[in-house]
């Protein structure tokens, strides 16, 4: 091949490459426009939040989406909350059943064609649709970070404390991602702090969130050594697993979506945190059913309780000892539930019954977290058993070898 022909061939290859890149960009743009088009249609049906999506199914020409007004949703869900669990993508038979239950007809939508032959998948549609849904989660972990005596501080210090807590939360999530742990958290404000939860389901997601909580507390504790005035908040913290509903607040005037959770989980946590002492870490007493977690089920376990969960969490927390919160390198992290020494090598934890202002009981454990820094300094987070004299709760010794309920 002559030099001229080689140059011509290289030019042709270059043009083809440029053309392919342009076609790929056009396909991507067309794909985004298609999803935006779908979102606009759903937004009009959503009607500023008057209606909620309860399901959608694929059709020959596109999709069908079932919207239900809020008042009708609450009337029907007393006996049909299971319809809010899991994906909103259903088959045609289930769609017909749902339409009958709610007394509404689904809306038929034709999906736009995407340039370049790229297909809009069910997962793509689900991502758009779920913004307009209410989901029920039977078992999910959440953390409640509450700033102690928040209301007594002047507004500027309140802002600084909330901002400092948000930094600790952002640090923890970033650090986990850098360690290859996909802990994608959402948060909602409480006024004095935040609820935080992991959107990843299952036991792994719950354990990842526990690691996240440990990192937040570590960052906050180290910052206390370096902070001045009241810029670094003192926290009381609660970790719990339970059921809840999740919904999205869609801002009609701006392209933002904020998730919120409400339900038994958040109610129990807020009642427990009301009685928690400054600096205390509470772990709710829970039973979690396992669903396909092979490692645990291979050991004959179909469900785990809070102490077993803590033993699993301890192993994972050890992996975080090379992190650097607030510029301090960590040598070791240890955590445990407090209690009393039994006979021999036995150790029994204490469980506390907390009675709220409504007379209802909530069981919880007291947790302790110790961090050893690289220069042999130690940071102690949480309260010891003998620090709980003012804790307004009824203690009882729990024999971990027995079968017990939360």
pLDDT tens digits, one per residue of 127-175: 889 888 888 998 999 999 999 999 999 999 999 999 999 999 999 999 8
With beta carbons less than 8 A apart as the criterion, state whether 26 and 116 touch.
yes
pLDDT of residue 224: 82
pLDDT at 256: 57
* Residue-level pLDDT at 181: 85
Q: Specify the pLDDT at position 166.
A: 94
Low-confidence ranges of the chain (pLDDT < 50): none
pLDDT of residue 19: 58
pLDDT of residue 159: 94
Residue 393, pLDDT score:
95
Question: Kind and range of the H or E element at 32?
Answer: helix 3-46
What is residue 46's predicted lDDT score, i.e. its pLDDT? 86
Q: Could you tell me where in the chain the CATH 3.30.70.1230 domains are found?
A: 136-398
pLDDT at 299: 61
User: Domain 136-398 maps to which CATH number in 3.90.420.10, 3.30.70.1230, 3.40.190.10, 1.10.10.10?
Assistant: 3.30.70.1230
The pairs formed by 35-40 with CB atoms below 8 angstroms and a separation of 24 or more are 35/120, 35/124, 35/127, 35/128, 37/112, 38/109, 38/111, 38/112, 38/125, 38/128, 39/128, 39/131
pLDDT at 270: 96
């Amino acid at each position: 091949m002559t030099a001229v022909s080689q140059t011509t061939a290289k030019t042709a290859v270059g043009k083809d490459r440029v053309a392919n890149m342009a076609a790929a960009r056009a396909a991507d743009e067309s794909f985004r426009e298609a999803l935006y088009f779908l979102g606009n249609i759903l937004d009009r049906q959503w009607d500023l939040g008057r209606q909620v999506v309860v399901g959608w199914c694929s059709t020959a020409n596109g999709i069908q989406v079932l919207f239900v007004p809020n008042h009708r949703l609450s009337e029907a869900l007393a006996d049909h909350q299971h319809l809010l669990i899991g994906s909103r993508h259903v088959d045609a038979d289930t769609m017909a059943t749902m339409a009958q239950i709610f007394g509404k007809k689904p809306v038929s939508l034709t999906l736009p064609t995407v340039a370049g032959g790229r297909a809009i998948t069910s997962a793509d549609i689900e991502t758009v649709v779920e913004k307009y849904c209410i989901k029920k989660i039977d078992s999910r972990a959440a953390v409640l970070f509450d700033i102690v005596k928040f209301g007594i501080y002047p507004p500027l210090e309140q802002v600084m404390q909330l901002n400092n807590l948000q930094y600790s939360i952002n640090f923890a999530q970033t650090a986990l991602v850098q360690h290859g742990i996909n802990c994608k958290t959402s948060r909602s404000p409480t006024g004095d702090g935040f609820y935080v939860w992991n959107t990843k389901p299952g036991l792994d997601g719950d354990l990842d969130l526990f690691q996240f909580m440990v990192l937040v507390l570590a960052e906050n504790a180290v910052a206390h050594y370096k902070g001045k005035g009241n810029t670094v908040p003192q926290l009381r913290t609660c970790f719990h697993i339970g059921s809840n509903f999740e919904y999205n607040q869609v801002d009609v005037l701006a392209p933002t979506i904020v998730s919120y959770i409400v339900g038994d989980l958040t109610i129990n946590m807020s009642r427990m945190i009301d009685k928690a002492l400054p600096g205390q870490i509470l772990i709710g007493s829970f039973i979690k059913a396992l669903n396909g977690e092979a490692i645990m089920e291979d050991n004959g376990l179909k469900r785990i309780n809070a102490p077993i969960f803590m033993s699993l969490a301890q192993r994972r927390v050890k992996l975080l000892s090379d992190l650097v919160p607030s510029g301090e390198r960590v040598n070791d992290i240890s955590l445990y539930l407090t209690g009393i020494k039994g006979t021999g090598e036995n150790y029994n934890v204490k469980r506390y019954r907390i009675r709220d202002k409504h007379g209802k009981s909530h069981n919880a454990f007291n947790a302790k977290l110790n961090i050893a820094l690289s220069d042999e300094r130690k940071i102690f987070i949480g309260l010891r058993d003998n620090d709980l004299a003012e804790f307004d709760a009824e203690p009882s010794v729990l024999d971990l070898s027995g079968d017990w309920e939360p």
